[in-house]
Amino acid sequence: MMGSVLPADTLALKSGFKCPSRALSDVITSDILHSFLYGRWRNVLGEHLAEERHGGGVSSTKTAFTAEVLAQSFAGEVQKLSSLVLPSEVIIAQSSIPGEGLGIFSKTWIKAGTEMGPFTGRLLSPEHVDLLKNNNLMWEVFNEDGTVRYFIDASQEDQRSWMTYIKCARNEQEQNLEVVQIGSSIFYKAVETIPPDQELLVWYGNTHNTFLGIPGVPGTDEEHHKKNRNGEIL
């Protein structure tokens, strides 16, 4: 599962910036990137972005993703992803995990501690989550007492962001991102410095409560449910 998602209107109000619909081939400035990521990525990569703005580097860059490139392997996905906005630090390509479709890869070095997000989608209360379904596009958000407040569900295409295409790691060895809850939002945090051309793969971290105390689930009070790496509730 992946956590709860904030509605688009809430996202725009919180960031103070309304992200316009535009093709990935359009120019994405560092200011747009800053607003899109709530400043969290920029806080870590700020020195790099400042060099682009004031130094010899270019002040705005295109993403490495284009509809033409995508069309070579995923002709059916072009229309669906034509308005997806990617940070300039990443690219979308065939996932290294068999059968998983598209994934997100690093285009530049990503420092350990970099936070990406927030993860977006519709909010679902625990009683509205089907525990028998594959919930790999959903994360849970917890209350302070460890109970589940709600889930962020990105299964609906019109509520997806680029983070939806980051796949879950199959083991600790390939994991380079962890899920972190900041307030009532879900972010991904780099657990190590990631070199270019590496697929971003996420899973729970030590600081994230992985046990879901979901009200209304059959069982004793001591029983809890945990999502496995296939998105299923155990």
pLDDT in tens, 147-183: 999 999 998 877 788 999 999 999 889 999 999 999 9
Specify the CATH number of the domain 8-226.
2.170.270.10
Distance CA 116, CA 211 (A): 23
State both tokens at 201: 């793969």
Which letter does DSSP use for residue 163 in this model?
A: G
In the structure, what pLDDT confidence band is assigned to residue 131 with cuts at 50, 70 and 90? confident
pLDDT value at residue 132: 72
pLDDT value at residue 74: 53
In terms of pTM, does the model score above 0.85? no
Instruction: Please classify residue 130 by burial: count the beta carbons closer than 10 Å to its beta carbon, then call 0-12 exposed, 13-18 middle and 19+ buried.
Output: exposed
Distance CA 90, CA 204 (A): 21
Examine residue 118 and say whether the peptide bond preceding it is cis (omega within 30 degrees of 0).
Answer: yes
Closest CA to 64 of 40, 42, 45, 90: 90
Distance CA 24, CA 118 (A): 19
